[in-house]
Amino acid sequence: MQKIVAVCGKGGVGKTAVTAMMTRELRGRPSTGHFLVVDADPALGLMYALNVQSDKTIGAVRDKVLQAAESGNAGARAEVANELDYLITSSLIEEKDYSVIAMGHMDAKGCFCSVNGLLRDALGELVEKFDTILIDGEAGIEQINRQVVDRINTLILVTDSSYRGVQTVHHIEEMVKNGAIDSCEMVGVVFNRIQGDNRTLEELQALVGLPVLGIIPYDATVQNFDAEGKPLFDLPDDTPALKAVGKIIDKVFA
Ligand SMILES: Nc1ncnc2c1ncn2[C@@H]1O[C@H](COP(=O)(O)OP(=O)(O)OP(=O)(O)O)[C@@H](O)[C@H]1O
Ligand SMILES: [Mg+2]
């Protein structure tokens, strides 16, 4: 079955770091199959973490289509609509063992519902072609394209043990209860950047209503890689945070 996994949580809790480490651990596993990674953050932090360079984003495709729509020229409109699949496919970056796509800025003004509809359909078709899709989201899940959101079946909420991080988890817990993401079969929490070995799973589980999928320790190597601008994808195999992510994947993808 197709697995669509979104990684969400409060700003700065480590969503991008966790997604980059998950990408590293998932690629090449036979159960992963055809693998797509989506950077849904306009700041393109995941692209840096994966050491992937590209200026092609879905936002740029959208702008191009909007321009054609605005030009009012029916010929240009029809042409771009036809081209949309091609434009989206050419925004896809092929890496060894996985593909990446960046959403970029999706905030162009105006309501061009037909354009958004076309884009949604084209993205939906693209997503169809992969077995595992991993999304580095923003704080909420609202920003991820609707066509994709409706099909997310695994939601990973990253948090640190801070009050505000946990509050964000509670907020998303509410959304889940209210049926905002009915498609989700698994929703769980990952505690990240946990200092020392003295926080037990039970203790952290008591902070949230959703099941805790795992604990990722504070890891100076992760912090240093980011501080020095080195891609997290290149972390050494024995990095404790990476090992913890491997265990979480064993659980989520069991
Ligand atoms: N397990 C960890 N150990 C040490 N440092 C970590 C760990 N996880 C993340 N960090 C550091 O925390 C900082 C924030 O991480 P990251 O950018 O992944 O957060 P984010 O949730 O994606 O942020 P944003 O909301 O801005 O996208 C980075 O400097 C990163 O190196
Ligand atoms: Mg990020």
Q: What is the pLDDT along the chain (254 residues), one digit of tens a residue?
A: 899 998 988 889 999 999 999 999 999 899 999 999 999 888 899 999 999 988 888 888 888 877 877 777 777 777 777 788 888 888 999 999 999 999 887 765 555 556 667 677 777 888 899 999 999 987 655 555 555 667 788 999 999 999 999 998 998 888 888 887 777 889 999 999 999 777 888 999 999 999 999 999 999 999 999 999 999 999 999 999 999 999 999 999 88
Nearest CA to ligand 1 atom 5: 223
Please give the tally of structural domains in the chain: 1
Instruction: Assign residue 152 the CATH number of its domain.
Output: 3.40.50.300
- Domain extent, residue 17, equals 3-252
Which tokens in the block code for residue 247?
A: 């265990």
Closest CA to 55 of 91, 94, 106: 91
- Note the pLDDT of residue 45: 92
Question: Is the CB of 10 within 6 Å of ligand 1?
Answer: no
Question: Is the CB of 24 within 6 Å of ligand 1?
Answer: no
Q: Which atom of ligand 1 is nearest to the CA of 232?
A: 31
Closest CA to 84 of 40, 117, 133, 36: 117
pTM of this prediction? 0.92
Q: Which atom of ligand 1 is nearest to the CA of 13?
A: 21
